[in-house]
Amino acid sequence: MLKTRFPNPGAMELGDPYRTVVGVVLSARTRDEQVLRLLPGLFAAFPTMEDLSVATVAEIDKRISTIGMYHQKAKHLSQLAKLCVERHGGLVPSTMGELVELPGVGRKTASVVLACCFGTPSIAVDTHVHRVTNRLGWVKTKMPQQTETALLKIVPTKVMRLTNQVFVKLGRYVCLPGKPRCWMCPVQKDCAFKKQNLVAPKDADEVVADIARREDSLEKQRLAVAYGKHRS
């Protein structure tokens, strides 16, 4: 049901491990739209992990300066690329243990890469996934890593990849932190949240249309990055 409502892949599922890991690292505490806007220029300048590994932090800075914490993220990308070249032959590693050793890569980033690039059963848990699954009553946890552990025990392997995709979108557009839009939630009847907001606002049609527009725009940006002419 949720995949039908939100059919698009995650915004940082960018077609290969290199693009995906870079995109997810840059997306930390940053809107996906901002990251997708700068990525074509970044990948045009540094088409491969080897190219990124020899770039200076200052050169990377210039390409990502439109997002928050860009200098720290530039350092992480520089170090990450060097480690991938030195230890993994210029490739992004394919195990959780190796991925989390890379600068700027935590379990959430690693899980996105594992699920969408290597087909490894994993669930990336961010604040959206943590909030939504607790409200639904799937888990009762206080921290995202606890949520990840709990979800890995109850979500069927064949749909683990979809968990992050659909719950991030549900959390971003519908199950908002403050006043959720339960009136438009496709799983409202199966939700354990006690303070459901079932009254649709006067501008409900505009809200729904805006969500569709944002999703369409994100998908066009994602496809441009994943399959753009700059791709080597």
Catalytic residues, which ones?
108, 126
Long-range contacts of 78-82 (CB under 8 A, 24+ apart): 78/52, 78/53, 79/103, 79/104, 80/21, 80/25, 80/104, 80/105, 81/49, 81/50, 81/52, 81/53, 81/55, 82/53
How far is 26 from 70, CA to CA, in rounded Å?
8
Please give the Cα distance from 126 to 141 (Å, whole number): 13
C-alpha–C-alpha distance, residues 221 and 211, integer Å: 15
Q: Give the C-alpha separation, 10 to 32, whole Å.
A: 10
Q: For residue 180, give every residue at least 6 positions away whose Cβ sits within 8 Å of its Cβ, in sequence order, or none.
A: 135, 174, 193, 196, 197
**Distance from C-alpha of 55 to C-alpha of 34, rounded to nearest angstrom:** 22
